[in-house]
Chain A
Amino acid sequence: MRVGIDVGGTHTDAVILNGDDVIAATKSLTSADVISGVTAALDEILQQSGVSAGSIKTVMIGTTQFTNAIVERRELSKIAVIRIGLPSGRGMPPMVDWPRDMVDAIDAEVYMLHGGYLYNGWPVADMRDDEVKAVITDIQNKGIQNVAIASAFSPMNSRPETQVAEKIRAAIPDARVTLSHSFGRLGLMERENAAIMNTTLLPFADRVVNSFLGALAKRGLTCPAFISQNDGTLMNADFVRAYPALTFASGPTNSLRGAYRLTGLENAIVVDIGGTTSDIGVIQNGFPRESNVVVNIGGIRTNFRMPDILAIGLGGGSVVSEDGKIIGPRSVGHKLVTEGLVFGGQTLTATDILVAGGHAVIGDKTLTSHIGAGVVSQATATLHKMLNDNIEMMKPGGKDMPVILVGGGAVLVTQGLNAAFKLHRPENADVANAIGAAIAQIGGESERMLSYRQTSRDESIASVTRAATERAIKAGADPKTIRAVDIEETAVPYMDEGATRVRVKVIGELAT
């Protein structure tokens, strides 16, 4: 049996799956400390099912805590960023295209060093020992523990990154370093962005993982624990301490996969309404449609592999304007239970509108009696219009598509949706994310730029596949079940014959 837990900004869901059957499910508000909510949800499903902790073989956790930390600019630690690539890129320092508030929030010390390699193995410039030494001394003097390092062409030659990392660790023994080549793909700025976001989350990642493992141990769950990442595959909990950024967008992926599992619909639009956002995605042949474009997270360009999600600021905790004409994007999030009107708070939220309209019994309805009927119907109309307009945008051209409503906020949809060919509200739809987390697999991905003249095509693909396989095994996959699911070869134009970018993705079952 498997436990799937999903921690959202507003709700924490948990399920027990026995094979394909949901034998227990619960949904509760995410607690401010996160972990007491997780513990309570675990207690609830274990009690509901009467299953003993010992018969749970694995726990899969999906969490949006890291994405939300970036989006809301909180829990971020001060870091140092080192780019190795001078004399290229003068006047284009790290974070040059970031939103101002994010730059301020992480307050990074930025350094640019000579070094890095060209595609053909020649150095961009020689590394300068005095430059490196000065940077490390400055980092030491400023008392910074967490460092992101990116160098030009590091997916092909990671030596400059590892060399500087070694020197930092020698000088600052408890330093934690993220190397951009761990994020694989070519595109220095996007890879560097991923490393920076990852680094600024490291201390928070420790707190999160410790509290998860602590909660599981307290309930006697000693089985392996995994956390789901952006492509719907899993990584083991300790891996997350080093790579929290890999969890970005795992929530939407889990809800899409969960919606598919709940309905069996291989092609559909999924609308996952949470406390803060509605995430609209598309299932194609049972898997999330992937984004064609570079993905922005909190206004920052990254090259993560992500589902194509249109997120709009509409959820149960969304703040509603006095006239009901504007909903969101501001949300009270998990403070809904203290700040929402029905809970005795002072903020008019989408949930209050739902209760005032008589569509749900949550909190104390009498606390909404001062809201005029006109405002309630206006807000209801605003909400449905927002969803319809955005579903239309995601819909594959003019075709009739079923819409699956999932997530705790699905109750907000009280009228039909014109954009939907058919509206599905499957059983357990409110815990789709937790189900999606529970059915995730283990993946691994690697990318290198190679010359087919120097290394044969077969040998090249085999070496990249080996690197991807090693990553999958490290992340907890059963070596016997690993298979390549995607091999991408991109010839590099205008270069010598045979220069090719090879990317391989493998997937395997969880090792048990």
Chain B
Amino acid sequence: MKRIDLSHLDDLALGSVFLATGGGGDPHVPRLITEQAIKTYGPVTLIAPAALDDDAFIVPIGSVGAPTVSLELLPSVDEAARTIEAFEAHVGRKVDAVASFEIGGGNSLIPLVAAAGKGIPVVDGDGMGRALPEAQMMSYAIAGVNPTPALAMDYAGNQATFQTNTTEVYERHIRSFAMAAGGMITTAEHAMSGAELKRSVIPGTLSFSIELGRILRENRGQAEGLLKPLQEIFARSIYGQCQLVFQGKVVDKATRIVGGYDVGEVTIERFDGLGDPLKISIKNEYLLGKIDDRVIASVPDLIVIVDYETGTPINAERLRYGHRVAVFAVGCPDFYRTPDALRVVEPRCFGFDIDYVPLEQL
């Protein structure tokens, strides 16, 4: 069993922005609240999924809402733990460990805040292995875990509980509550047994994210220099191969809101201006990369845009005209290539009329 203390937070935050594939929001505030929680309550124990008792009771916790809102409506240090306590009261059972919705962005850190405050372990793993926009895309949901009973709490301690028939309905209802509560809430959902978690979790991603962050920090500098260390770390992981697919300058970025999501496209031209540009489609995350009509990479594989000079991953909402960038693609964990998973995360689920072809076959 490992412990996560203050010395791991910078690397975890950096690694999680890479795995967020453009989504997940700026991790600064979540990182800071985690730091405050660890300073206040002490380090957090990290527990491997395999080490959990089959009848342990685990609940994933995270934020739902607009990352932009959390820039203004700051979280409180006890908010996550109070959400767990309220959830325990709601279901009448003690929670043994918390888990993460998604390893990408701020939601990789909220479970640590809850775990620190409650003095319980956090599971080394998550429900996506990256960031994805909707609840039914979580590995927990795909493996058949029911999202409800669920409980959500806002910044003022107002609570709502949910009991829904399907994950899609749950997703719609939780979004409505998030909007009504000012744009950002903390939710405990998809509660499950240790046995259920073992077959539904993407394992090891929390410790992997710390390791990835360390690699990014130690190899800070131009993107080409980053490729080899990245390929090495991904080769040792549950992810597929890592490729450097493009380098150039952002010449256009257009996004608009459709159905509650930030939808649009970014166009990246080679530094020498020659050849066709790379176009990446965005729906909160970077989902599909195409040069001319040729697909370079697509969801559920990971597409990551980093600052060309420093290798720092850039969130979609921060990406701007003129940015000099490099684009990496990484094969997703095998779980997301199974028919059950592809049914909810293949390109068509995001409105792209193409079949999913694994990165290494493109």
Contacts and interface: CB of A to CB of B under 8 A. Distances in A.
Given A88-B155, A189-B29, A491 B182 contact: no
B183 A188 contact: no
B66 A397 contact: no
Interface stretch (B32-40, B199-207, B295-303): B32-40
B99 interface: no
B74 A494 contact: no
Interface stretch (A20-28, A115-123, A421-429): A115-123
A500 B264 CA distance: 14
A396 interface: yes
Nearest to A488: B320
Interface string B298-327: 000000000111101010011010111000
Contacts of A492: 66, 68-69, 257, 262
Interface stretch (A73-81, A91-99, A256-264): A91-99
A408 to B, nearest CB: 28
B179 A88 contact: no
A152 interface: yes
Contacts of B261: 493-494
A152 to B, nearest CB: 5
A61 B75 CA distance: 42
Interface in B72-98: 72-79
A372 to B, nearest CB: 36
Nearest to A290: B322
Contacts of A88: 73-76, 155-156
A495 B71 contact: no
B144 interface: no
Contacts of A214: none
Given A87-B155, A92-B74, A301-B28, A497 B257 contact: yes
Nearest to A114: B156
Contacts of A293: 307, 310, 312
A179 to B, nearest CB: 15
B281 interface: no
Contacts of B157: 87
A499 B72 contact: no
Given A187-B71, A292-B318, A396-B308, A495 B257 contact: yes
Contacts of A416: none
B139 interface: no
A352 B309 CA distance: 35
A393 B33 CA distance: 32
Contact of A396 (B23, B66, B309, B314): B309
A125 to B, nearest CB: 7
A294 to B, nearest CB: 7
A19 interface: no
Given A292-B314, A494-B65, A92 B308 contact: no
B247 interface: yes
B255 interface: yes
A85 interface: yes
A186 interface: yes
Given A87-B156, A494-B66, A92 B271 contact: no
Chain A contact patch, size range: 35 or more
Given A494-B261, A500-B257, A85 B28 contact: no
A93 B223 CA distance: 37
Contacts of A125: 156
Interface in A455-512: 488, 490-501
A22 B1 CA distance: 69
A488 B255 CA distance: 11
B178 interface: yes
A127 B273 CA distance: 56
A134 to B, nearest CB: 21
Contacts of B69: 119, 492, 495
B260 interface: yes
B89 to A, nearest CB: 20
A491 B262 contact: yes
Chain B contact patch, size range: 35 or more
Interface string A358-399: 000000000000000000000000000000000001101111
Contacts of B317: 490, 493
Contact of A92 (B33, B264, B307): B33
A204 interface: no
Contacts of B221: 393
Contacts of A186: 68, 71-72
B247 A85 contact: no
Interface in B237-277: 247, 255-262, 264, 271
B224 interface: yes
A124 interface: yes
Given A301-B28, A397-B271, A92 B260 contact: no
B183 A92 contact: no
Given A122-B182, A494-B65, A397 B32 contact: no
A301 B28 CA distance: 10
Given A292-B314, A294-B28, A397-B247, A91 B78 contact: yes
Contacts of B260: 493-497
A495 B66 contact: yes
Contacts of B45: none
A405 to B, nearest CB: 21
A129 to B, nearest CB: 19
B262 A493 contact: yes
A329 interface: no
Interface in A143-189: 152-153, 186-189
A134 B266 CA distance: 51
A88 B181 CA distance: 12
A415 B322 CA distance: 34
Contacts of A187: 71-72
B287 to A, nearest CB: 13
B66 A493 contact: yes
A90 interface: yes
B156 A118 contact: no
B159 to A, nearest CB: 14
B255 A491 contact: yes
B74 A499 contact: no
A495 B261 CA distance: 7
A449 to B, nearest CB: 8
Contact of B74 (A118, A189, A301, A399): A189
A448 to B, nearest CB: 13
Given A292-B323, A397-B271, A120 B182 contact: yes
A54 interface: no
Contact of B72 (A188, A490, A500): A188
A344 interface: no
A284 B255 CA distance: 26
Contacts of A89: 73-76
Interface of A: 85, 87-92, 96-97, 118-120, 122, 124-125, 152-153, 186-189, 284, 292-294, 301, 393-394, 396-399, 449, 488, 490-501
Closest 6 interchain pairs by CB?
A91-B77, A89-B74, A90-B76, A118-B182, A88-B155, A493-B262
Given A85-B73, A492-B68, 15 more contacts: A85-B72, A87-B76, A89-B76, A92-B29, A96-B36, A120-B183, A153-B72, A189-B74, A292-B307, A294-B28, A396-B308, A493-B284, A494-B284, A495-B179, A497-B260
Interface of B: 23, 28-29, 32-33, 35-37, 40, 64-69, 71-79, 155-157, 175, 178-179, 182-183, 221-224, 247, 255-262, 264, 271, 284, 307-310, 312, 314, 317-318, 320, 322-324
20 contacts: A88-B156, A90-B77, A91-B33, A91-B77, A92-B77, A118-B182, A119-B183, A120-B179, A153-B72, A153-B73, A189-B28, A284-B322, A393-B309, A491-B257, A492-B68, A493-B66, A493-B284, A494-B66, A497-B259, A499-B257
